């Protein structure tokens, strides 16, 4: 049977040809999918294109030339058409015969309309109406620009005078100067008046610097208004902590991350290629810094010029505030490199240049972890009970930290909640002490309060790790829905670890002995083979509700049985019934105390963690890894730490303006 092709969205499917924007569908598929997004009135733009991966075709037409709308709401229209390359945005979209449309009907029932992808303007035939609307708007914009210009001019004058007054290091200003300097505070909202208050004490030691910006300790704990006050304005809080200085980067958008390095091609070189992916290559690199005696190994993720948007998307997330975490891959910096293609892949890298044979590359540099991914490690090694719990807890903590939205504090900018959307064993790397680090944020998305996520795409990630609602195309565009998709994938990766781990009473594995566990198998490899199609996965996971089977050796092991219950709760078919990543981390911590590893377990040689786990919300401080001490000691409470699990004592962690809010898991 001939296979049809459909138009596709390149970023959402690695089988999509970038030149023709088409993909070849699986044998037996005769329909294509088209998702349109409303941009105003009856005007739509293309949101998603691809093959029809669902087995149900009753909602699809039996004749070509028309697209049946089987799902619609106020913002999106999803339809199905039949035939080769039929899912063009100009195809007529009609209701399903018999009124089998779900959701509100966007069409007039007296006659069917074709969705137009061309913008319709009410001013095209009425110039008078155009000028009547455009001229007042133009005048309003000019008034706003003039108003902003006057405010900035007055403020710059005040900042210049204030900075000049601080050259000598004196914090005492005459009353006349204070009145003139702080006159600008009347133009700003109340939250900003604290930056320039006339009631500041003169003997409090507050200093005003004469650098590029101002330094004040009265700024409110919301860094953005302080940036409006002056360029690179710093707000100093209690003690010696400072709100990080905001600096514009040379490449990319946003602000430089803490300790980020720029122009890395001058101090970083490629050594050898490690892997190739759909968005680029990963190289082992060597980084040489003047303040370090020896060079260190780094990982260089190289994006070609055609994948610049993928580079920018991942860079945007790594530059978010408070993203530093022991279980998230450490970001070092980026650079744009022009390479001479005639001198080999690793030769003649430079930060700028041009020529007929030059090739532009975009670098994203992170820490290099020689153990590789969890997938690479467990394929060739068996794990002890303690090693398996250590890796699983690290993954859960890292994912929980990504999912957590941290509020703005007196010393930190806010961190939004982040959904990874491609969580799998290949995207979790291992440090030398088996600390798990989540990597590859290329498909991740920010889930901020008040920010819509309606532009997120439907099917992204790796097929065998997709949740049933993703395979079924029934995703709810809410924050919790996206986080539960990650939790489903986390459960599959923990299942992978369990299949390659020994129990707490078993002797630890030895590299010199013969392997006694079954060889590694990916999720659903036993049921569907090594390369299942989307249609097979949809039938198995979404329709038949199957999950990877437990090993028979777990039945008589209470420790494995309890961990298996946690895995089942994480991949529940009902997304709303799934537990959170933080809850999984807490259960694993309790399991490690209830069923500790044997005395000769290799995990006992690793750094230990006190009995109460903590998530550190401070991006700059250290974080203890999971280990197993013979006598766990009570944790020392610190204002920079909050408990992952509820504290059993009646002495709660203190709360004030300089502390982070407690994370609820």
Reply yes or no on whether the pLDDT at 108 is more than 50: no
pLDDT bracket for residue 291 (50, 70, 90):
low
Mean pLDDT of the chain: 75
Angle between helices 479-499 and 558-570 (to 10 degrees): 150
Q: pLDDT-derived band of residue 247, with 50, 70 and 90 as boundaries? A: confident
Say yes or no: 408 and 538 in one domain: yes
pLDDT, residue 232, reads 39
- At 292 the pLDDT is 66
Please identify which residue in the block is written with the tokens 């080999």. Answer: 344
Which residues participate in catalysis according to the annotation? 422
On the question of pLDDT at 36 being above 80, the answer is yes
Q: Is residue 32 part of a domain?
A: yes
Show the CA angle centred on residue 501, arms to residues 497 and 502, nearest 5°. 160
- Range name among 137-151, 213-227, 234-248, 391-405 with the lowest pLDDT average: 213-227
Query: Does 428 share its domain with 513?
Result: yes
Q: Considering only residues 545 and 125, tell me which one the structure prediction assigns the higher pLDDT.
A: 545
pLDDT at 457: 60
Dihedral pair phi/psi, residue 230, rounded to 5°: -165, 160
Highest mean pLDDT among 117-126, 172-181, 437-446: 437-446
Q: At a CB cut-off of 8 Å and minimum separation 6, what does 420 contact?
A: 399, 402, 427, 438, 441, 443, 444, 486, 489
Task: Please indicate, yes or no, whether residues 481 and 376 belong to a single structural domain of this protein.
Answer: yes
Residue 631 lies in a domain: no
**pLDDT tens digits for range 202-212:** 333 333 333 33
Domain CATH number, residue 271: 3.30.200.20
Instruction: Provide the pLDDT confidence category of residue 277 given band limits of 50, 70 and 90.
Output: confident
Mean pLDDT of 237-262: 70
What is the Cβ-side half-sphere exposure of residue 545, based on CA atoms within 13 angstroms? 5
What is the rounded CA–CA span in Å between residue 160 and residue 181? 9
Q: How far, CA to CA in Å, does 621 sit from each of 230, 292, 325, 637, 647?
A: 28, 21, 9, 15, 22
Q: What is the CATH number of the domain that holds 9?
A: 2.10.60
Are 285 and 419 members of one domain?
A: no
On whether the CB atoms of residues 398 and 437 are closer than 8 A, the answer is yes
At 576 the pLDDT is 94
pLDDT tens-place string over residues 493-541: 999 999 999 999 888 888 767 778 999 999 999 999 999 999 999 999 9
Phi, psi (degrees; rounded to nearest 5) at 87: -85, 50
Q: Which residue has the higher pLDDT, 19 or 195?
A: 19
Give percent above pLDDT 90 in the chain. 40
Contact 395, 582 (CB under 8 A): no
Look at 103 and 393; give whichever has higher pLDDT: 393
Residue 326 lies in a domain: yes
Summarize the confidence of residues 374-391 as an average pLDDT.
Answer: 96
Residue 219 domain-assigned (yes or no) = no
The domain boundary residue, chosen from 315, 349, 368:
368
Q: Decide if 589 contacts 644 (C-beta within 8 A).
A: yes
**Any idea how long the chain is?**
665
Do 293 and 314 reside in the same domain of the chain?
Answer: yes
Q: What pLDDT sits at residue 98?
A: 59
Task: State whether 334 and 380 are in the same domain.
Answer: no
Q: Are residues 277 and 398 in the same domain?
A: no
pLDDT in the model for residue 74:
74
Residue 22: inside a domain, yes or no?
yes
Q: How far is CA 588 from CA 549, 555, 608, in A?
A: 20, 19, 15
Position 547 confidence tier, pLDDT thresholds 50, 70, 90: very high
Region 617-629: mean pLDDT is: 39
- With CA atoms as reference, report the closest residue to 245 among 258, 262, 261, 228: 258
What is the CATH classification number for the domain harbouring 527?
A: 1.10.510.10
Overall average pLDDT of the 242-262 stretch: 76
Q: CA separation (Å) from 662 to 263, 447, 652?
A: 38, 19, 11
Indicate whether 531 belongs to any domain: yes
Q: Is residue 491 over pLDDT 90?
A: yes
What is the per-residue burial (b if ≥16 Cβ within 10 Å, else e) of 257-276?
A: beebbebbbeebbbeeeeee
Do 378 and 364 share a domain, yes or no?
Answer: no
Kindly state whether residues 563 and 464 are assigned to the same domain. Answer: yes
3-state secondary structure 333-398: EEEEEEEEHHHCCCCCEECCCCCCCEEEEEEEEEECCCCCEHHHHHHHCCECHHHHHHHHHHHHHH
Q: Distance (Å, rounded) from C-alpha 439 to C-alpha 402?
A: 11
C-alpha distance from residue 78 to each of 32, 46, 130, 458, 463 (Å): 11, 10, 34, 11, 21
Band the pLDDT of 448: cuts 50, 70, 90. Answer: confident
Q: Does an H or E element contain 417, and which?
A: strand 417-419
Report the distance separating Cα 161 and Cα 159, nearest Å: 5
What is the secondary structure of 436-484 as a DSSP string?
A: EEE---TT-EEE-TT---TT--SS-S-GGG--HHHHTT----SHHHHHH
Per the DSSP assignment, residues forming a β-bridge with 77 are 36, 72
State the Cα angle at 504 between 502 and 507, rounded to 5°: 60
For residue 286, give the 3-state DSSP assignment.
strand
Helix H or strand E segment including 34: strand 31-40
> CA 566 to CA 563: how far, in whole Å?
5
pLDDT tens sequence across 141-175: 999 999 999 988 877 765 554 444 433 333 343 44
Tell me: do 446 and 470 sit in the same domain.
yes
User: Looking at per-residue confidence, does 72 or 8 come out higher?
Assistant: 8
Quote the pLDDT of residue 162. Answer: 44
Q: What is the mean pLDDT of residues 296-325?
A: 92
Task: Classify each residue of 633-652 as buried b or exposed e, where b means 16 or more C-beta atoms within 10 Å of its C-beta.
Answer: eebebeeebbbbbeeeeeee
Region 484-488: what's the mean pLDDT? 97
The whole-number pLDDT of residue 92 equals 87
Lowest mean pLDDT among 102-116, 478-492, 516-530, 571-585: 102-116
> Does the residue 349 lie in any domain?
no
Dig out the tokens for 289 from the structure: 């810094």
Average pLDDT, integer, range 638-656: 34
Confidence of residue 220 (pLDDT cuts 50, 70, 90): very low
Residue range of the domain that includes 326 = 259-340+358-368
Above pLDDT 70, what percent of the chain? 68
Query: 46 or 354: which carries more pLDDT confidence?
Result: 46
DSSP code for 147: H
Rounded CA separation 569/571 (Å): 6
The answer to whether residue 539 sits within a structural domain is yes
Model confidence over 598-615: pLDDT tens digits? 999 998 888 764 333 344
User: Bridge partners of 287?
Assistant: 268, 296
H/E/C letters for each residue in 51-113? ECCCCCCCCCCCCCCCEEEEEECCCEEEEEEECCCCCCCCCCEEECCCCCCECCCCCCCCCCC
Q: Are residues 588 and 454 in the same domain?
A: yes
Which segments of 184-335 does DSSP mark as H helices, in order?
Answer: 190-193, 223-229, 308-318
Lowest mean pLDDT among 104-113, 455-464, 569-578: 104-113
For residues 8 and 5, what is the distance between their CA atoms, to the nearest angstrom? 9
pLDDT the model gives residue 239: 43
CB-based contacts of 131: which residues, under 8 Å, 6+ apart? none
For residues 362 and 392, state if they share a domain. no
Rounded Cα distance, 428 and 435, in Å: 10
The count of structural domains within the chain is 3
Amino acid 515: pLDDT: 77
At 594 the three-state DSSP class reads helix
CA pair distance 337, 353, nearest whole angstrom: 9
Q: What is the pLDDT of residue 208?
A: 34
Strands 67-72 and 76-82: antiparallel
pLDDT at 621 over 70: no
Residue 346 has a pLDDT of 57
**Mean pLDDT within 385-414:** 92
């Amino acid at each position: 049977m001939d296979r049809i092709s459909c138009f596709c969205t390149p970023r959402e499917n690695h089988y999509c040809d970038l030149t023709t924007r088409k993909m070849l569908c699986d044998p037996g598929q005769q329909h294509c999918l088209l998702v349109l997004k409303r941009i105003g009135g009856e005007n739509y733009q293309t949101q998603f294109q691809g093959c029809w991966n669902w087995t149900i075709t009753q909602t699809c037409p039996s004749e070509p030339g028309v697209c049946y709308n089987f799902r619609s709401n106020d913002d999106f229209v999803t339809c199905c058409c039949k035939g080769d390359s039929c899912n063009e945005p100009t195809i007529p979209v009609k209701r399903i015969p018999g009124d089998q449309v779900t959701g509100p009907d966007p069409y007039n029932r007296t006659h069917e309309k074709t969705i137009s992808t061309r913008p319709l303007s009410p001013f095209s035939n009425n110039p008078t109406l155009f000028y009547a609307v455009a001229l007042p708007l133009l005048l309003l914009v000019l008034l706003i620009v003039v108003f902003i210009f006057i405010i900035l001019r007055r403020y710059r004058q005040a900042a210049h005078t204030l900075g000049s007054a601080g050259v000598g290091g004196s914090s005492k200003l005459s009353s006349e100067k204070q009145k003139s300097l702080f006159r600008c505070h009347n133009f700003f909202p109340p939250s900003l008046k604290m930056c320039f208050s006339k009631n500041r004490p003169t003997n409090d030691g507050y200093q005003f610097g004469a650098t590029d910006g101002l330094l004040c300790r009265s700024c409110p704990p919301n860094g953005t208004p302080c940036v409006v006050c002056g360029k690179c304005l710093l707000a100093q809080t209690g003690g010696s902590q400072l709100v990080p200085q905001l600096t514009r980067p040379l490449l990319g958008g946003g602000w430089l991350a803490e300790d980020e390095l720029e122009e890395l091609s001058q101090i970083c070189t490629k050594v050898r290629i490690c892997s190739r992916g759909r968005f680029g290559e990963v190289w082992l690199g060597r980084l040489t810094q003047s303040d370090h005696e020896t060079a260190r190994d780094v990982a260089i993720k190289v994006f070609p010029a055609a994948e610049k948007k993928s580079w920018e998307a991942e860079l945007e997330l790594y530059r978010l505030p408070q993203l530093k975490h022991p279980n998230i891959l450490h970001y070092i910096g980026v650079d744009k490199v022009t390479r001479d293609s005639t001198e080999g892949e690793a030769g003649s890298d430079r930060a700028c240049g041009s020529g007929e044979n030059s090739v532009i590359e975009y670098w994203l540099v992170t820490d290099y972890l020689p153990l590789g991914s969890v997938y690479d490690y467990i394929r060739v090694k068996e794990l002890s009970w303690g090693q398996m719990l250590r890796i699983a807890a690290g993954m859960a903590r890292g994912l929980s930290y990504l999912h957590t939205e941290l509020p703005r504090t007196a010393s930190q900018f806010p961190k939004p909640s982040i959904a990874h959307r491609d969580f799998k064993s290949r995207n979790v790397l291992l440090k030398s002490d088996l600390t798990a680090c989540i990597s590859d944020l290329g498909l991740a998305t920010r889930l901020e309060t008040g920010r819509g996520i309606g532009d997120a795409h439907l099917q992204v990630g790796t097929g065998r790790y997709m949740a049933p609602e993703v395979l079924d195309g029934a995703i709810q565009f809410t924050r919790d829905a996206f986080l539960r998709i990650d939790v489903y994938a986390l459960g599959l990766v923990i299942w992978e670890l369990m299949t390659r781990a020994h129990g707490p009473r078993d002797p630890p594995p030895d590299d010199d002995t013969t392997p006694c566990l079954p060889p590694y198998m990916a999720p659903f490899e036993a049921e569907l083979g090594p390369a299942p199609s989307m249609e097979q996965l949809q039938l198995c996971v979404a329709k038949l509700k199957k999950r990877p089977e437990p090993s028979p050796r777990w039945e008589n092991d209470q420790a494995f049985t309890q961990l298996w219950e946690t895995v089942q709760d994480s991949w529940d078919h009902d997304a709303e019934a799934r537990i959170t990543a933080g809850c999984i981390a807490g259960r694993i911590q309790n399991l490690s105390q209830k069923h500790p590893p044997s005395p000769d377990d290799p995990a006992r040689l690793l750094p230990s963690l006190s009995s109460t786990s903590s998530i550190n919300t401070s991006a700059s401080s250290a974080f203890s890894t999971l280990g197993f001490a013979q006598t766990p000691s009570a944790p020392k409470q610190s204002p920079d730490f909050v408990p992952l699990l509820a504290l059993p004592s009646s002495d709660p962690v203190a709360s004030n303006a300089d502390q982070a809010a407690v994370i609820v898991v």
